[in-house]
Amino acid sequence: MSEEHAKNAARFLANKEQEQWHNETLWQVRGKRDRLAMAIPEWETLREWASGIKMHTLSHLDRYLEQFAANAEANGVKVHWAKDGEEHNEIVYGILKERGVKKLVKSKSMLTEECHLNPFLISKGIDVVESDLGERILQLMDEPPSHIVMPAIHLKREEIGALFEEKLHTEKGNSDPAYLTHAARLHLRQEFLTADASMTGANFGVAATGDVVVCTNEGNADMGTSFAPLHIVSMGMEKLVPDYQSLGVFIRLLARSATGQPVTAYTSHYRKPRKGCEMHLVIVDNGRSRTMEMGDHRRTLKCIRCGACMNTCPVYRRSGGYAYTYFIPGPIGINLGMLRSAKTYAGNLSACSLCCSCNNVCPVKIDLADRIYAWRQSLDRLGKADRIKKGMSKGLKFLFSHPALYRLSLRLAPLLRYMPRFLMYNRLNGWGKGREMPEFANESFTEMWKKGKVKTHTNQRSHE
Amino acid sequence: MSSKEEILSRIRQTVGTGYAMPEIILPAGAVEYGDKTAQFAAVSESVGGRAVVAGKGADLNEMIRSLYPAAKTIASNIPEITLATFNPDKTGTPYELDGTELAVVRGEIGVAENGAVWIAQNVKEKALYFIAEYLVILLDAEKIVHNMHEAYRQIRLNDYGFGLFISGPSKTADIEQALVTGAHGAKGVTVILTSAV
Ligand code: SF4
């Protein structure tokens, strides 16, 4: 609920230094993304294509799924279909159980988070080991990721150092990232070499060939699948692209958008099982076909989970992933939460200033902010309007008390007309309750407003 | 009805308007590189890797030795790489590859825009690409293309049914965004660009 989001954000904001670090670090990632995007004159064309390819694929999804599954089967991959998370988990467990698997090593997969696979398998006695460094850190802490690409972005090195000291017996007080990473390398290598099965997600499925494409920087998916005799792929049905030519468009966009890298270190194509081994593919619906029925909201299915909308979002950067009640935070998470259960997750709608920055960085051109706006419009029907609108006001107050955020949010200007005057000028502090308000906040806003800069700010483009 | 049929029939009811597939033809002014080799080397550097040019007639074994003077266990199935201490294709299981300090493999296509090298599996166990502490990839400089569109027009998988693009060493920034190489895979990657000229 909005109250919950505000409370969670307040907790995050209580640690000022960390909040500032989080904000600035993600903004740097955004900056890297900009530099790489700008080095490619055809960048906007690529985004158009990516959006168009996804819309095309989604509007012929039945055919592409059949083609993909037929090719995968012809390649010797065993294909399973899961209507929902529960069926997905049962299928995975069934495969593991039949083969007596004790240890499963996993690479990062938002879909398995969505299906709550890990707790399910653990309850069945399977040793589940996350192998992405960030995911492993969080697993050892027994906490969920706070970002879909940088899962441990909310943690400081000292916290990780202390965790490793306890769990991996690293040196006392050593929190050097290189030292800790290499300690994790040694620890996880043993896990790779002793696992009975590996599991990966899928960044893309190529209909024309049956390839499953997995992109990582660490090489953890590759290590996992190189040893254990069984590889299970868990794939959302919206991950399909028609062919290699379309895949090329997405590979050019993904890492640049996600982390500001020209490409991930590894872009792996899995087409057949390793000699003498097994490869299983679980294609998951879990609400996606329902989303397809929801008019314009269908566009959220274009998402390639790059995380760029989080890195750019002024509210996400200042409130952290745990402020959101759905497991995926940020602009896309607000949308996916609403699609999962509008009743349960409507509170997250307040975590948006409608600055539309997300729309402008999204590599597949999802109109995330417009979707959020549309959800807000439909709140009356959900009977949640009052509570949520209250939350929205808080969000706006939060924004106005942060001049840097405010500057990023010039797109909000049209909305100001509808804001009661007291909201714009009072000194209450919304989400930042208990937090000192920067003294110049109101002043700078007023100044800008008077000078007419709100509408004509020349920096607007560079902030988009 | 099976889950498969149920899912597909539900999708069939919802697909709605068919959107046309965009035509993927790069517009005029799309990025191209005057010197693809130089661009490839520069990007390789920027992603923590390295590309070195071997002139015609250069002694590859000598080059590799001088790049990795300390390497003791060196795996390669390329006959010309005589400094290899073992042929990885002769090992029984991928587990035996643990402890490999250096692997020397061949790449097929290089991509100038991102320093990636395409390899369709060309060793018995793909584990070799990831478990070796350091990786050397031999690539014909003529095989560098501008971008991923070109690369995807050319790549093919073979009977192994696995292939990948590698761009630089394994890396992570999961601890405070501090970049560390050698997360799980190779701690360093050198692409040796061979050329007929
Ligand atoms: S909505 Fe767009 S920007 Fe956000 S994660 Fe998905 S693809 Fe990336």
Give me chain A's average pLDDT, please.
85
pLDDT of residue A460: 35
pLDDT of residue B52: 96
Q: Give the pairing type, strands B171-172 and B180-181.
A: antiparallel
Residue A439's pLDDT band (cuts 50, 70, 90): very low
pLDDT at residue A14 tops 80: no
pLDDT of residue B17: 77
Distance set, CA A335 to CA A26, B2, B15 (Å):
21, 30, 20
Residue A406's pLDDT band (cuts 50, 70, 90): very low
- Over range A255-267, report the average pLDDT: 97
Quick check: B92 contacting A, CB < 8 Å?
no
Interchain contact, B183 vs A39, CB within 8 Å? no
Domains, chain B, ordered by start: 33-194 (3.40.50.10420)
* pLDDT > 70 in chain B, percent: 99
pLDDT of residue B14: 84
- Our CA angle for A323, A258, A81, nearest 5°, is 80
Give me chain B's average pLDDT, please.
95
pLDDT at residue A395 tops 70: no
Measured from CB, residues less than 6 Å from any atom of ligand 1 are A 303-309, 332, 361-364, 366, 368
Residue B26's Cβ-count burial label (10 Å; 0-12, 13-18, 19+) is middle
Tell me the ipTM for this assembly. 0.97
pLDDT in tens, B5-44: 999 999 999 877 789 999 999 999 999 999 999 999 999 9
Ligand 1 centroid–CA A363 distance in Å is: 7
**If we measure between CA atoms, which residue out of B69, B87, B85 comes closest to residue B125?**
B87
pLDDT of residue A332: 97
Residue of chain A minimizing CA distance to B17: A59
pLDDT in tens, A126-141: 999 999 999 999 999 9
pLDDT of residue A44: 97
Token reading at A158:
């000292």
pLDDT in tens, B62-111: 999 999 999 999 999 999 999 999 999 999 899 999 999 999 999 999 99
Residue A435's pLDDT band (cuts 50, 70, 90): very low
Interchain contact, B180 vs A177, CB within 8 Å? yes
Tell me which residue has its CA closest to atom 2 in ligand 1.
A362
Domains, chain A, ordered by start: 40-155+196-289 (3.40.50.10420), 295-376 (1.10.1060.10), 402-463 (no CATH)
Q: Give the pairing type, strands B50-54 and B188-194.
A: parallel
Q: Which atom of ligand 1 is nearest to the CA of A331?
A: 4
Which residue from A366, A371, A464 has its CB within 8 A of the most atoms of ligand 1, so it is best to mutate?
A366
Ligand 1 centroid–CA A34 distance in Å is: 15
Pick the range with the lowest mean pLDDT from A25-29, A264-268, A454-458.
A454-458
A248: chain B residues, CB-CB within 8 Å: 24, 147-149, 151-152
Residues 118-137 of chain B with CB under 8 A from chain A are 125-127, 129-131
Interchain contact, B176 vs A181, CB within 8 Å? no
pLDDT of residue A414: 38
Nearest to A265 among B22, B131, B169 (CB): B169
